Each structure stands twice: as structure tokens, then as C-alpha cells.
Amino acid sequence: MIVLGIETSCDETGVAIYNTMPWENAQPASQGILGQALHSQIAMHRKYGGVVPELASRDHVRRVLPLLDESLAQSGLTLKDIDALAYTQGPGLAGALLVGSAFAKSLAQGLNLPSIGVHHLEGHLLSPLLGETAPQFPFIALLVSGGHTQLMKVSGVGRYELLGETLDDAAGEAFDKTAKLLGLDYPGGTAISKLAEKGRSGQFDLPRPMLHSGDLDFSFSGLKTAVLNQVKKFQEKNISEVAQFHADLARAFVESLVAVLVSKSEKALKQTGCKHLVLAGGVGANLQLRAALNEKATKNGFEVHYPPLDLCTDNGVMIAFAGALRLLVANNGSTTSGAFDIKPRWDLQSNNLI
């Protein structure tokens, strides 16, 4: 089965074509990726310091057709070869979601094909199955993106149990807000990570929020405030070593955030008896987080699985792949009705198959 996937939930337009044959027969599942094209709007939004929803929607409209052509050209296929369409139905920005949904559903109707609405986070948490060492079910997924921070138990495709989540800022949001405080461009995740490498450990004693809360929830807004307080103190002192100050503070921020994410992930593994951990979402590209998880995995006897680095942030492949698996496992595709059915706010567990 060949599935065309469309992602437009936020500031990336992604289109991809996935063939389920390798998934059914042989690994690695990444062999099924026949074509993929992506356009990031980051440069467009940067001057506003964050995503401007209306600009995002308009840009998705501009990009989606050329990206479809690019994916088809890569795959050597035509629209006649497509068996089903998958699109991000939610959660995300309403206007942006509408573009992908209207596009996919119209195409499905025109081609008389089934279409399936995919939960964006399901796309993220299944994408490590496309990595070099695919995890076995059940596994724990640490989902860390710009909008979400969650620990999930994944027992199979469409079988998700939320174990804990952030009570305020998401991990990516904390990265982006802290980056702003340190004078870095939006989105600041990668920039903070690079800056932290130049910083010295132990220069600041930042909080490790909810480290000992006894549950699997997170809270990152206090961490960002602690960074803000240090920045204010620094301005009062007018210290000349700005660059080193920023690097040391970035280091302390990353160390705190990583310590909490790693500790709660280990707790989730212990609590559920799972031996496999999957890291997904944009913050999953963070090298300090990966290094810390790898170290703990070796020490404490569990395995960590990652999506390919280019599939950590938003993309069309994960939507084509998740849609394809749902269609395979549960025959869960609805024939398109042409209705607007986006879900800007959507709880993943409510979409469980059993």
C-alpha cells in the first residue's frame, strides 16, 4: 500500500510517500520512504520571534503543491499509484491544519481514495520505528516538542497510555523562551544546545523542577524564570564577559532540563517494566539529551531508540508512516466526506484503537 502523507500543523509543510511493503516484510522500515519534501517557514517567522498563524496558513497554501510534485518526482510515481492519503488532523494551528486537511481530502475525493486523519504526536512517537534499531512494543515514548512534553506507554499502533505530561511550558517552549532571554533567534533549541557546549558546568544553580515530585509530570516555566532572574542580576552587575555568561547559563539550563527528562523517563521505565525507550519530537534532536540517555541506558540496562535525525522535527514522512500503519493494523481509513474535520486540540488516547 502506498500512502501520501501531508503535514501542515505548524510551521513546516511536509509531503511524503510511504510504501508499507518493508514494514510488512523486511526491515528497516525506512526503506518504505519513496519520496519526501519539506519546507520550513522558520526564516519567515523569525523576525516576529515566533510563529504567526495567518502567515503560516498562507505559506502552506503556497508550498503544498510544489512539494507534492517534488515527492512524486523523487518516487518516480504518479498520483495514480497512490492508494491512500494521510494528513495531520490535529493538534496544531487551526488555519494551518485546515490547509493540509482540505488539500488531502480534496485529492482523495478526486482520486476516489480513502483518507485518514493522523494525530501529530502519533506521527512523532511512531517515527523511531523508521530508525536504524526499531523498538519492540511495548515501549515508553518521551515526546518532547515545541508544544508537548509527555511520557507515553505505547503497547502497539493505536494503543497509547499517557503516564505524565507538562503542567505548563513544553520542553521545546522552554528552549525557545530561554533562547530569547539569551538573545538567540527563534526557534532556539539548536542554538542553545550549541552555546551550552561552550559553557562551564556548575556556574549556576538552576532548579530541576519536579525532579522529586513522585509522579511523571513536568513543569518548565520556573526554569525559564530562573534563567530570567540570572539575566537580570547580570545586567545589574554589568559584567563584561557577556559571551561566557550566556554560555554558562545555557549549559546550566540544558543540564537541568536534561536531568529532569532523563530521571522521569527512567522512572516511567521502572514503573511499567518496559526495557525500551523512544525519544521523539523536535527536542529529541538535542545531542546533550541523547548523550545523557545513552549513558543511563548502558548503565541501567535499557535501550534507547531514536528517529533518524532529520525526522525528529516536523515532517511529512511521519504522517504518511503513521497513517499507513493505522490503515494496515486496523483498516482504520475513512472514505473522504469533504467535511472540515480538523482537531486543533486533540487528546491522543481518545484516538486509541482498543
10 Å Cβ neighbour count for 215?
11
Residue 301 — φ and ψ, nearest 5°? 75, 40
Q: Is 145 in the site for Zn ion (CB under 5 A)?
A: yes
- Which of 93, 98, 89, 100 lies closest to 14, judged by CA? 100
- Cell numbers linked to 212: 522529586
Query: In b/e form, how buried is each residue of 244-267, taking b as 16+ CB within 10 angstroms?
Result: ebbbbbbbbbbbbbbebbbbbbbb
* Smallest distance from ligand KG4 to CB 210, Å: 19
* Smallest distance from Zn ion to CB 255, Å: 24
Decide whether 118 or 269 has the Cβ nearer to Zn ion: 118
* Smallest distance from Zn ion to CB 148, Å: 8
347 burial via Cβ count (<10 Å: 0-12, 13-18, 19+): middle
132 burial via Cβ count (<10 Å: 0-12, 13-18, 19+): exposed
Q: Is 314 in the site for Zn ion (CB under 5 A)?
A: yes
* Smallest distance from ligand KG4 to CB 307, Å: 10
Q: Is 173 in the site for Zn ion (CB under 5 A)?
A: no
Decide whether 282 or 333 has the Cβ nearer to ligand KG4: 282
* 176: partner contacted, choices Zn ion, ligand KG4, none (Cβ within 5-8 A by kind): ligand KG4
Decide whether 14 or 333 has the Cβ nearer to ligand KG4: 14
Distances (CA, A) of 90 to 46, 120, 126, 207, 269: 24, 6, 16, 33, 28
Decide whether 184 or 312 has the Cβ nearer to Zn ion: 312
Site stretch for Zn ion (CB under 5 A), options 32-40, 86-94, 177-185, 306-314: 306-314
- Binding positions for ligand KG4, rule: CB under 6 A: 10, 145-147, 172, 175-176, 187-190, 193, 281-283, 285-286, 313-314
Decide whether 92 or 114 has the Cβ nearer to Zn ion: 92
* 35: partner contacted, choices Zn ion, ligand KG4, none (Cβ within 5-8 A by kind): none
* Smallest distance from Zn ion to CB 121, Å: 7
What is the arrangement of strands in the sheet containing 303-305, beginning at the earlier edge strand?
159-165, 149-156, 139-144, 276-280, 303-305
Decide whether 59 or 314 has the Cβ nearer to Zn ion: 314
Residues of this chain that bind Zn ion (CB under 5 A): 145, 314
